[in-house]
Structure 1
Amino acid sequence: MLMVPPALAAGVVNVAIVGEPDTLDPVVSTKDVVSIVTQHVVETLYTFDSQWNVAPLLAKDMPSISPDGLVYDIPLRTDVTFHDGSALDPEDVVSSLNRWLKLATRGKGAADKIAEIKAVGPDTVQITLSTPYAPLLSLLAFSNSAAAIYPSENQADQLEKVVGTGPYQVGERVPDQYLQLVRFDGFKPREEPTNGGAGKRGQVPDEIRFIPTPDPNTRVEGLLSGQFDFADSLPAESFDRVSASSTAEPMMLEGFGWPVFAVNHKEGLMTNPGIRQAVQMALPMDDMMFAAFGDDKFFKTDGAMYPEGWPWRVENGIELYNVNDPAKAAEALSAAGYDGTPLRILTSRQYEFHYKMAEVAKMALEAAGLKVQLDVVDWATLGEQRNNPALWDIYISHSPFLPEPALTDMYFTTSRLGWSEPEKDKIAEAFLAETDQAKRVELFGQLQGANLADVGFIKIGNFNAVLGKSKALNGVDPSPWPYFWNASKE
């Protein structure tokens, strides 16, 4: 077990997360472990409520939008203070959003749609678009690759210190042991009732301690022993054991998300579309999901990008999903001129289900005639190496189902995958510009079909996430990015 200083008071919440956040600046990271921690420290103009509707956070209200959809006037709260004591003003927002456009994965994707960001009066920021851009507010609300707001004086590409407006600020940090967050006394919450990430953020705990715990079984044992009040990303096979505990209980996030084999379109083997298609043909999605989750109550093999019940559910291209035909894949490899170069799959055991899928995939791909090199690293190293296209052909990750498909940047040429295909790119641009919902769903169907046909990336299935908490812990809702500002312990 990890050696963590005693922090057992009712006002301290101990949270086991899968690894050490490699940055506390969510602008420059898409890692969940970064989002989970930093949402307590830095804030965005907007956020999401419990139904994934966009709601104001640092913005006073929803924006006023011009009839042509090109000009957004965003009123700002006038009672917000940064951790350094300075007051939030429009210049902070303008400089922060420009930094986001320059550095953030999702900001870069929006940059060519934004003509200007400027202050308009003492408490309003105006964003002018060059073309209608439907995902804008969702992007401004997302805590992942976040449009985080910092003081205008603190806008370097690499921040020496993160200065936010959130309910907590960084206290003590001992690498690989714990990261302590303490209350920010100058914080003023919104007055609306708590509703998901929206409304009042209560500052209930005196401290929140995030404890990097890479081994999933250690997260389980620490939860059951009372060392952790909350544990993220538990193995599916631990569900029954945690359910039987007298001190802890599991939390199931049904229809949580989808594991993905992210494909390198910039360099290497997978730049050959025939080889990409062969890989997709060879993968046994049922076997991979069973290996990852052990029981079909935790997963569903499904080729559509959204589950039943979501407005984005479409069927385009799903006949290409879960073909699971090694012989057909071998023929496709031969036709593509495969020369025996190893396929490099980058994965980690900190999300154990990633590794289990990789093991099954390796056997299936080898049966189809591919040589496979499985590179197993810790999650922080994977996060670094996936930014270098010379080091991998596929990396394994996962994503929650998100309320706006454009929040999944893998569809677009600006992502680290670099997936660019002329017809797909036209569809993607039309999808971003369209504001009519019915037409957007139709275009998203075409985008899903293009992904399955050209193998932009490979969705493996749908899965339910298992989290765990102490029975004494209250005020924490199941979430892809759990937050603890309203948490209390009996």
Structure 2
Amino acid sequence: MSRTLHYFFAILMVLTSVSASAQAEPTKGGIVNIAMIGEPPTLDPMMSTADLVGTITQHIFETLYTFDEKWQVIPLLASQMPAISDDGKTYVIPLRQGVTFQNGQPMTSKDVLASLHRWEKVASRGRQTAEIITDISAPDDHSIKIVLKQPYAPLLALLSLNNSAAVIMPDAQTRQNPLTEFIGTGPYQLKSHQADRFIQLTRYEGYHSQAGEPDGYGGGRKQYLDEIRFVPVADPNTRIEGAVSGQFAYVDSLPVESFDKIKNGKDKPVLLKPYGWPIFVMNSRQGLTSDILIRKAIQAALAPQDMMTAAFGSPDFFSLDGAMYPKDSIWHTEAGTAPYKPMGDTAKAQQLLKEAKYQGQTLRILTSRQYEFHYKLAQVAQAYLEAAGFKVQLDVEEWASLTQNRANPERWDMYISHSPFLPEPSLTGIMSDTSPGWWVSDKKHTALQAFNSETDPQKRVALWANVQKAIYEDVPMFKVGNFNALAAQSPALQGVRPSPWPYFWNAYLTQ
């Protein structure tokens, strides 16, 4: 299956003041402050699909597998790729030996087994996967056996992702819900969490790294930095000024229109192109948007051209595309995308509202200003939805609150989110019946089961078209377009590879 995972991100890193030469072996030491978009809703990576959570906690916790620089699955806590039975239903995963948790205890299959059982119960992607799993067992201290009801191609990708993540923790810790301890096997350990001030990570001296050179999220993980501090900076203008003044070593999620200003500041811009897509997720479970005619009216009313222009300004930073994956991806297909209209279709939306017998109920949209483009998208969407006849209410919340409130179907009809282009389509949140939005339909299940049970890479590409058709026909979400992501990095900080979830093992300071 790993052959189907390709590296979609054309990465441009603009660090004009940084020397191309590198030290033979960087010097250990230093503290870096990393500006993030806000306070994470949790530090339990199983409990959240938020990129903010995954970005921070991937330094503390590790998974059995991860992604290399080409987005292929490679071992992390596993010692090698699994032995898979001829029928594709049984995976035997050998575990690395010598790995210890940050409390000094050795990692064994008992810990891995307990962690995977917890993942099946509390993580949205874990619950999705549990429907396919017959049994998980530990044949000995150094291996795990997973038996499936049927072949399931996304399994290893699901075991690799860093949010809603199948992280490994000590057996005793797995019985905590919510977590009260945060002990993993990662290169950095949690020292202090002062809410709304910083999350302080320090080097775990007992860390047992994979051998070899760094390779994407895998390979050798060196701990040059003494300390990493993730600082919540909710206001995007404050993040911009922090980058210009050089207040932070790295600033995540900057508005793309600040590119020129950042370029002339102390930190330098880092552009990921293309990064991903913003989406409006519909509440398919209850309330106004549980009516498919209402969802189709929203689909017709929204105007991606004006929404993306408001959110990202220049077309240098976005493109209009109804396909779930960009043109250079193996997953790109135009199947089902006819309803995607750059300027929307107000008349069609009005007709659909009439057919739905819409009575003027309030359409509640959850959004946040910590991702400023979310808020701008919501403002333009509100105008077009009101033009179609909807009564619209924008509920603007802190990102941490939004990610918690979206779990309650009574509180919203749509919420705005975004995602990088994930290497395996089945990692997308809406593919899980239990993910907020709760898209459940026979059409989805038929298309997704055929896609996930096929292990031949080329056949999977063709079957993905049917899943995309189901998305457009059931309208569990509205994809607005493709966008580029902007961050900023100090010239003194080296060894950071631009990536959708930035990581700071292998990073070091030169000044």
Instruction: Please confirm whether the aligned pair reaches a TM-score higher than 0.5, indicating the same fold.
Output: yes
Instruction: For 2:197 and 2:241, locate their aligned partners in 1 and report how far apart those are by CA, in whole Å.
Output: 17
What's the secondary structure of 1:126's corresponding residue?
strand
Equivalent in the alignment of 1:164: 184
2:354 aligned with 1:329:
no
Structure 2 residue identity aligned to 1:316: A
1:129 to 109, 126, 148: 148
Which residue of structure 1 lines up, in the alignment, with residue 22 of structure 2? none
Distance 1:293 1:263 in 2: 23
Residues 412 and 425, structure 1, Cα contact 8 Å, conserved in 2: no
1:391 CA drift (Å): 0.4
**SS, match of residue 272 in structure 2:** strand
- Report which stretch shifted further, 128-137 or 448-457: 448-457
Residue among 308, 311, 331 paired with 1:312? 331
Give the counterpart of 1:22 among 23, 35, 41.
41
Name the counterpart of 2:450: 430
Tell which deviates more after alignment, 265-274 or 347-356.
265-274
Q: Residue 218 of structure 1 corresponds to which residue in structure 2?
A: 238
Matches within 5 A, 1:181-200: 181-200=201-220
In the alignment, which residue of structure 2 is the partner of 1:67?
86
Does structure 1 residue 103 correspond to structure 2 residue 122? Answer: yes
Identify the residue that residue 5 of structure 1 maps to in structure 2: none
Alignment of 1:393-472 (within 5 A): 393-472=413-492
Check if 1:274 corresponds to 2:293: yes
Aligned to 1:89: 108
What secondary structure is seen at the aligned counterpart in 2 of 1:464?
A: strand
- Matched with 2:365 is 345
1:424 deviates by 2.2
1:349-376 deviations in whole A, cap 9, x for unaligned?
0000000000000000101111101111
Match for 1:41 among 54, 60, 81? 60
Q: What amino acid is aligned across from residue 82 of structure 2 in structure 1? A: P
- Give the drift of 1:122: 2.7
- Alignment partner of 1:242 is 2:242: no
Instruction: Give the secondary-structure state (helix, strand or coil) at the position aligned to 1:106.
Output: helix
- Name the CA shift for 1:234/1:392 in 2 (closer, same or farther; >3 Å): same
Distance 1:422 1:396 in 2: 25
CA contact (8 A) 2:368 2:397 kept: yes
TM-score of the two chains, using structure 1 as the length reference? 0.97
Whole-Å separation in 2 of the counterparts to 1:243 and 1:178: 26
Partner AA of 1:320 in structure 2? P
Structure 1 residue 155 and structure 2 residue 174: aligned?
A: yes
Corresponding position: 1:114 with 2:133 = yes
**Is residue 185 of structure 2 the alignment partner of residue 176 of structure 1?**
no
Which of residues 245, 250, 267 is equivalent to 1:230?
A: 250
What is the CA-CA distance between 1:319 and the residue it aligns to?
A: 1.0
**Does structure 1 conserve the Cα–Cα contact (< 8 Å) formed by 2:115 and 2:169?**
yes
Inter-partner Cα distance in structure 2 for 1:243 and 1:362 = 33
> How many Å separate the matches in 2 of 1:175 and 1:159?
16
Secondary structure at the counterpart of residue 155 of structure 1: helix
Aligned to 1:69, what secondary structure does the other structure show?
Answer: coil
**Alignment equivalent of 1:54, drawn from 73, 79, 87:** 73
2:387 matched to which residue of 1? 367
For residues 411 and 301 of structure 1, the distance between their equivalents in structure 2, rounded to whole angstroms, comes to: 23
**Conserved? CA contact 2:366–2:402, under 8 Å:** yes
Deviation (angstroms), 1:339: 0.6
Query: 1:4 corresponds to which residue?
Result: none
The residue aligned with 1:3 is none
Which residue does 2:19 correspond to in 1?
none
User: 1:338 is paired with a residue of what secondary structure?
Assistant: coil
Further displaced range: 478-487 or 409-418: 409-418
Aligned-partner Cα distance in 2 for 1:483–1:382: 24
Pairs aligned (count): 481
TM-score, with length taken from structure 2 = 0.93
Deviation at 1:438?
2.3
Which amino acid is 1:39 matched to? Q
| Equivalent residues of 1:412, 1:428 under 8 A apart | no
Tell me which of 498, 501, 507 is aligned to 1:478: 498
Distance 1:160 1:103 in 2: 15
Separation (CA, whole Å) in 2 of partners of 1:424 and 1:205: 46
The runs of at least 4 consecutive aligned structure 1 residues that moved more than 4 Å come to: none
Task: Determine which of 365, 379, 384 is the counterpart of 2:399.
Answer: 379
Distance 1:315 1:308 in 2: 10
Give how far 1:428 is off.
1.2
Equivalent in the alignment of 1:262: 281
Contact 2:124–2:432 at 8 Å: present in 1 too?
Answer: no
The CA deviation at 1:412 is: 3.5
* Unpaired stretches in structure 1, ≥5 consecutive residues: 1-8
How far apart are residue 461 of structure 1 and its match? Answer: 0.3
Deviations 1:279-310, CA, capped at 9 Å, x for gaps: 11010101000000011000001000000111
Offset, 1:431: 1.4
Alignment-mate amino acid for residue 37 of structure 1:
I
Q: In structure 2, what residue type is equivalent to 1:232? A: D
Q: Matched residue of 1:281: which SS? A: helix
Q: Which runs of 5+ in 2 are unaligned?
A: 1-27
Kept after mapping to 2: 8 A contact 1:340/1:370: yes
Once the two structures are TM-superposed, the CA of residue 411 in structure 1 deviates from its matched residue by: 2.7
Point out the more displaced range, 25-34 or 404-413. 404-413
The one-letter amino acid paired with 2:135 is: E
The alignment partner of 1:423 has SS state of: helix
CA contact (8 A) 1:65 1:73 kept: yes
Q: SS of the residue aligned with 1:141?
A: coil
Q: Give the share of equivalent positions with the same residue, in percent.
A: 51
Measured after TM superposition, the shift of residue 10 of structure 1 is: 6.0
SS at match of 1:182: strand
Q: Distance in 2 between matches of 1:403 and 1:218?
A: 32
Give the Å deviation of 1:83: 0.8
Separation in structure 1 between the aligned mates of residue 435 and residue 51 of structure 2, nearest angstrom: 17
Where 1:93 maps in the other structure, the secondary structure is: helix
Give the secondary structure class of the aligned counterpart of 1:339: coil
Q: How far apart are 1:468 and its partner, in Å?
A: 0.6
- Is 1:287 aligned to 2:298, yes or no? no
